[in-house]
Each structure stands twice: as structure tokens, then as C-alpha cells.
Amino acid sequence: MAETYPIFSLLAALLLAAPAGLNPYLPLLMAAAMARFSNFYHPVPPLTFLGETWFLILAAALFLANTLLDKYYRPGESFVVPPAQRDRRLWVGAFHDLGQMLLGPAVGALLAGATSRFFPSPWILVAPMLGALAAGLVYAGKRALRRRLATRWGVFSNMLLSVFEDVVVVALCLAGLLLMR
């Protein structure tokens, strides 16, 4: 369908890129697995490394680390403590936050650039810029909402919010991948 209507290619790219603001590594892992193990998803030629085994292993390792850390740390929790007063737990949280803040838009740009066939070749950077913008906006919304809601429902509220975010990421990525067909 994306080949028939080019706008569907752009929409599919944004549906893969935007959830990278919630969990940067799950859309990356899904796209890498689809590119490696199926004929369903083909990244554009300069970004075909998405389907290689080494990249799939890297995405899986990052996803596992993020899954464990995201259930434990609230976004922005460790940034409110001055660096001199942070213990080991807060330093790990700070690096996790920094990784999500920087890698979310980067992964969004990578996935949008690898998926979109909407723009002509002189405009090759427009799709990655749109992907980075979409992922960055989603991350900003996630951080603001999660800080407010993470203590509202008790001890496990941050974990429940993180699981809900992962479910939303899977649904949006599947919608983007199905739209490409």
C-alpha cells in the first residue's frame, strides 16, 4: 500500500518514529527483527544495516537494559538532585534519562529515514528530521505526564505506566509496519 500511495510511507515512518520517544529501543528492535527475518520490511538502501545480525543483537541488548531500568526509574527523577549529592542509584537513573533523552529522537530519525520513501532524494534529511521531532515531542510529553502520574497509584505506578507505554509502542509500531504493506 505504501508503494501505491507515497503518503502512507510517510505515515508509516512517523508511526515507527514517534513511539521512540516512549521507548527508543522497542521500535528499533521490532524494525530490525522485521528487516532481518521477513520480507515485509525493507529499509531504504543507505540504512540497510538495520537488518543485519549485529544490529539486531545490539538492539535486543539495549531493549533489555532499557526494560529493566525504565520500570525502576522515573523520568527526570535523578536530574532534580544536584550531582554532588547523587548516589550510585541516582547516577544510573541520570544516565538512563540522558540516554532516553538523546537516543529517543536519534532512533526516531533513524527509523523515519529508513522507512520513508515519500521525499525525493534531494530532500533525504526531511524524513529523519520529522522522525526526530515526533520522537522528541513524544518524549517531552512522556516525561511530563509520567512525573505527575508515577506516584499517584502507589509503589507500582511507575512500573504500570512503563508497561502501558510499552503496549502503546508495540501497537503503534505494528500499525506503522502494517501500513507499509
Express each pLDDT in 55-75 by its tens digit. 999 999 999 988 888 777 766
Exposure letters 112-148 (e unless 16+ CB within 10 A, then b): bbbbbbbbeeeeeebbbebbbbbbbebbeebbeebee
Grid cell listed for 111: 527509523
Supply the DSSP symbol for 1: -
Greatest CA span in the chain, whole angstroms? 57
Report, in angstroms and rounded to the nearest whole number, the Rg of the chain calculated over CA atoms.
17
Residue 42 burial (10 A CB sphere; 0-12, 13-18, 19+): middle
Q: Which residues make Cβ contacts (< 8 Å) with residue 138, sequence separation at least 6?
A: 18, 19, 20, 21, 22, 104
Is pLDDT larger for residue 13 or for residue 117?
13
- Least Cα distance to 136 among 20, 2, 5, 3 occurs for 20
Number of domains in the chain: 1
Q: Which residues make Cβ contacts (< 8 Å) with residue 45, sequence separation at least 6?
A: none
Q: Is residue 18 part of a domain?
A: yes
User: What would the pLDDT profile of 84-120 be if each residue is shown by its tens digit?
Assistant: 888 887 888 788 888 888 999 999 999 999 888 788 7
Task: Judge contact between 56 and 146, C-beta under 8 A.
Answer: no
Residue-range definition of the domain harbouring residue 124: 6-179
Q: Is residue 1 part of a domain?
A: no
Q: Is residue 10 part of a domain?
A: yes
∠ CA 17-20-22, nearest 5°, is 135
Averaging pLDDT over each range in 18-27, 44-53, 68-77, 122-131, which range is the top one?
18-27
Give the pLDDT of residue 111.
93
Put simply, whether the predicted model's pTM sits higher than 0.85 gets the answer yes
